[in-house]
Structure 1
């Protein structure tokens, strides 16, 4: 499994914790920054992660900012990206099982390191159920086409 991860300055510490967790889980991980807590614009990092996931270069993306909201909003602007802001393991399992989410968004100011790791593990280990959920994904793809994305 290949995972690309990024944050903004407000998600730096949690991102570093999640990189360690991914390595412990034996995932191939690319941490694309930022390197310091100097102020940066989260859309720039979301763009890099989402383009890479949408291109098929990575299985999943992980984005972290202060609340996860900005990253989630930005990520879902990219065709083929189904980003989910999760604050619980249940949400992480459900978004994978029912929505085939491919980008996990987290907020450093919302969830602590231990919970974030549990959410990450649930997200990565839950397969998409397909079946009745597939027709809904097809409708999402149709909506992307209609909106020009």
Structure 2
């Protein structure tokens, strides 16, 4: 297991072929982020659940504190990620959604659509996601209820 303080600063990122270009653009646009790139490594067709599972495992194993997932629409990869009990993955389309998923839902993974979200908006969403804290309080009891499902 990685050092907890160090891994909290690491952001895992993974995608399928539909999200490859946006994943690469985010890494270039946000060079100060300590990325753990889990693939895919090209535009050839792959299965999004494989990459969602890799990212969930990296967070579970303490290799990263948060994650970014990208597929064509963001829908499939977010569904796959949310199959893991320790993941709260939010598919967002704008900065407000990225901020609120952290403030109210303590999301630890952000999903984006490579074919539906432009590079500039995606960068702004990731920045908001990484810089926003969970508010706790009244929201914590709701998060606690998610584990009861």
TM-score by length of structure 1 reads: 0.91
Is 2:79 aligned against 1:79? no
Runs of 4+ in 1 over 6 A off after TM superposition: none
1:58 match: 64
1:146 match: none
2:36 match: 30
**2:102, 2:120 → 1: CA distance?**
20
CA RMSD of aligned residues (A): 0.9
**2:16, 2:34 → 1: CA distance?**
21
| TM-fit CA distance, 1:57 | 2.2
| TM-fit CA distance, 1:21 | 2.8
2:50 match: 44
Q: Is the 8 A contact 1:19 1:31 kept in 2?
A: no
For residues 1-149 of structure 1, the aligned pairs below 5 Å read: 1-23=9-31, 26-143=32-149
**1:85, 1:68 → 2: CA distance?**
6
Q: Is the 8 A contact 2:36 2:64 kept in 1?
A: no
| TM-fit CA distance, 1:17 | 0.8
Q: Is the 8 A contact 2:89 2:108 kept in 1?
A: yes
Which residues of structure 2 form unaligned runs of 5+?
Answer: 1-8
Which residues of structure 1 form unaligned runs of 5+?
Answer: 144-149
What SS does the corresponding residue of 2:90 show, helix, strand or coil? strand
| TM-fit CA distance, 1:33 | 1.0
| TM-fit CA distance, 1:59 | 1.2
